[in-house]
Amino acid sequence: MTQKLTGVQRFAFEMVKGLLDIYKGEIKILIPPRDIDSSYDVADWPIKVIGKLTNTLWEQIDLPLFLIKNNKPLLISLVNTAPCFYKRQIVSILDMTTFVNPAWFSFKFAHYYKLVVPLIAKNSLKIITISEHSKSDIIKFINIPSEKVEVLHCAVSDKFINKPNMEIAQKDFFNKKGLTVGQYILGVSSLDPRKNFQSLIEAFLTINTRLPLVIVGSKGKAFADNNLKSLISDHDNIVFTGYVEDSELIQLYQSATCFVYPSLYEGFGMPPLEAMACGCPTIVSNTSSLPEVCGDASLYVNPTDIKGIKETIELAISDDPLRKSLTEKGDRRYKKFSWESSCYKLNDIIIQNLI
């Protein structure tokens, strides 16, 4: 909760929200001594600030010491890392990106994760992950028994489903961004090299269209530098918004001609489902977990095939019946995933391990 509400953090937020409904006053949320980010609505949550350290030192020293001093309660760690040697815990490992390609990350981040993730996995009671694809990668890279890993799918948060009438807000928002409703191509994610925005930009620049490309996202310290911002700044028809709040993101999804997600690797891939929930046709990579998540509701591209990405975008922006069909399929597809069902499955895992 001290970081922006994006993929990993959104999974943790939705799981905790669901568990609070189930357990009422039986849960404590432990955080380091840092400010909670403004993107979280947690005013009534049972949050306890512990320790004096931050980041990995808090996680590996302050947190386990607090737990040991307080009768070793069951710890649920939901953000891809956890104390290495605390054994009474259920941990989330959402993907194996640092094992698949360490070059996507800073040297320090990649090597830290490659050191601690196997220790966390082997010392925990249970591992939860977010797709069958991620489960197979965990088993492959860490040599963990299949029965130790459970899949809890991500879903679309309620605010993307129960959308307010955005008509008035849209006018002000789009005027501010210099955009026209329904006349742009959209990409949303962190500016992480594996999200492959460079291929999207290269493909876009070969398309004969007046539609701008809008890229939404921010770059974290963990990621390797890919000079994406300098590439974006060279072209007037590419709009970079940086991080936006969910209310603005919903407007961008609702009003895009199509959404493109050419990621090289995903543990799940929430943005395509969010786009579907907002009625936006989607184009995604044919890699990792994305076919598992998107089913028949997306157009698929090879993320390394610039010409293929270009041709698929051209098809999507020129074919009205196709976009309508994708929108209808997307509306059915995102409903197959539910935070509530994943929370109840997590609760079953907790009950089995409360020994």
Would you state the pLDDT for residue 179? 80
Residue 1 has pLDDT above 60, yes or no: no
Q: Look up residue 279 and give its amino acid.
A: G
Q: What is the dihedral of CA 97, 102, 106, 108, to 10 degrees?
A: 100
Give the model's pLDDT for residue 176: 74
Q: Cα(80)–Cα(113) distance, rounded to whole angstroms?
A: 9
| Joined tokens for residue 274 | 């969010």
- Per-residue pLDDT of 53-98, as tens digits, reads 988 999 999 999 999 999 999 999 998 899 999 999 999 999 999 9
Tokens (6 digits) for 313: 């975008």
Six token digits for residue 17 = 């929200």
**Distance separating alpha carbons of residues 29 and 78, to the nearest angstrom:** 11
228-244 pLDDT tens trace = 666 666 677 898 888 88
Q: What percent of the chain has pLDDT over 70?
A: 89
Residue type, 217: G
Rounded-to-integer distance, Cα 292 and Cα 106, Å: 29
Q: Mean pLDDT lowest for which of 4-13, 203-212, 274-283?
A: 4-13
Residue 2's pLDDT is what?
54
Tell me what pLDDT residue 219 has.
58
DSSP 302: -
The number of angstroms, rounded, from the C-alpha of 18 to the middle of its chain's C-alpha atoms is 18
Angle between helices 306-318 and 320-334 (to 10 degrees): 100
Q: Which two tokens stand for residue 246?
A: 């969910």
Same fold, 7-155+338-353 and 158-334: yes
How confident is the model over 266-278, as pLDDT tens digits? 999 999 999 999 9
pLDDT surpassing 90 at residue 221? no
The pair phi, psi for residue 285, each rounded to 5°, is -70, 155
The predicted structure's pLDDT at residue 223 = 42
Task: For residue 284, list its beta bridge partners.
Answer: 261, 300
Residue 167 confidence (pLDDT) above 90: no
158-334, which class in CATH? alpha beta
Domain limits of the chain?
Answer: 7-155+338-353, 158-334
In the CATH hierarchy, which fold is given to the domain comprising 7-155+338-353?
Answer: Rossmann fold (3.40.50)
Residue corresponding to tokens 């949550």: 45
C-alpha angle 101-104-106 in degrees, rounded to nearest 5:
115
The encoded tokens of residue 67 equal 């737990």
pTM greater than 0.85:
yes
Residues 6+ apart with CB under 8 A from 124: 82, 87, 89, 90, 91
Phi first, then psi, for residue 132 (nearest 5°) are: -65, -35
- Alpha-carbon span 182 to 335, nearest angstrom: 24
pLDDT band at 246 (very low <50, low <70, confident <90, very high): confident
Q: Return the SS3 of 114.
A: helix
Residues 155/338, Cβ–Cβ less than 8 Å:
yes
Contact 86, 123 (CB under 8 A): yes
Q: How many CB atoms lie within 10 A of CB 142?
A: 19
Is there a contact between 286 and 301 (Cβ–Cβ < 8 Å)? yes
Looking at the predicted structure, is the pLDDT value of residue 45 above 90? no
Closest Cα to residue 190, out of 9, 316, 32, 337?
A: 9
**pLDDT tens digit sequence for 111-160:** 999 999 999 999 999 999 999 999 999 999 999 999 999 999 999 998 89
Residue 225 clears pLDDT 60, i.e. is over it: no
Question: Helix (H, G, I), strand (E, B), or coil: what is residue 116?
Answer: helix
pLDDT tens-digit readout, 302-318:
999 999 999 999 999 99
